[in-house]
Amino acid sequence: MANDTGKLEKMLILAYADSQKAEDGVASNADDKFEALINPESYAIEYRFKFAEAQGQGSSGKQLKYESTEPLEMTFEFLFDGTGIIDGEWRTKKGDPPVDGKGNPQDSIVEGIQKFKRALLEYKGDSHEPRHLKLVWGKNSIFKGRATEVSINYKLFKPDGTPIRAVAKVKFKSSIEETKRALQEDKKSADLTHVRKVKAGDTLPLMCERIYGDSKYYLQIATVNRLSNFRSLLPGTELIFPPIDKTVKAT
């Protein structure tokens, strides 16, 4: 990806120890960063949904009830290359050391991989967890989250076993700063399907009051969950509370 001047922009991984700093996304506040040697040719995005399986007594099938949307996941591959081929040069003949674009001997990729691992995997003693990450490509912030899986495949070596080429595959899972998440996610919203586990002392009218702000929908919920005796709820039972059209009079 190039900016307005035509200069090729390298993908950056900015690492933050603090989730609020990661949310703000200021590069100067990053604790560490990693710049890709070359930009990824592609990346994969995964969308996942969580459903509760509700099956009525005596029925032969299950109906999937939407429960929640899982955090977005993205997978990238990053190339590490110490052969010099990235700069348009290669070994002049078999046995010659790898060179960079200026004909200078090329170091191994060990240092680059160490920097990569430090940014993504290093355990922070003060926060007791790995860093929060932001992926930036040119002027675009394309992802905020955490690294959940990292694998490094070493592909080429010097005669002494020093690696000079590797591909790192990383899976990232999106993450929202806690304060922002709480503002975006209203757990009491009546426009969402909720699955709630009955606790001791719970009644159906009381649970409807918590979720819908009104207890009068308890008969509808009893019907949805095929409750033969809604006055006696067994603790530990999971009940489904679907969206309610409040313009329709409860029966």
Q: What is the pLDDT of residues 22-80, one digit of tens each?
A: 777 677 788 899 999 888 888 899 988 888 776 556 556 667 777 777 888 999 999 99
In a domain, 4, yes or no: no
Q: Are residues 88 and 199 in the same domain?
A: no
pLDDT at 176 over 90: no
Specify the number of domains making up the chain: 2
Instruction: Write down which residue in 139, 167, 182 finishes a domain.
Output: 182
Confidence of residue 126 (pLDDT cuts 50, 70, 90): low
Tokens of 105: 């001997």
Q: Are residues 132 and 230 in the same domain?
A: no
Q: What is the average per-residue pLDDT within 210-239?
A: 86
Q: Are 191 and 243 in contact (CB under 8 A)?
A: yes
Which CATH number belongs to the domain containing residue 99 in this structure? 2.40.30
Residue 120: closest CA among 152, 150, 154, 140: 150
Q: Are residues 146 and 48 in the same domain?
A: yes
Domain limits for position 145: 11-182
Q: What is the average per-residue pLDDT within 173-193?
A: 55
Q: Are residues 49 and 143 in the same domain?
A: yes
Residue-wise pLDDT tens digits, 191-224 = 566 788 888 888 899 988 888 888 888 998 998 8
pTM, 2 dp: 0.58
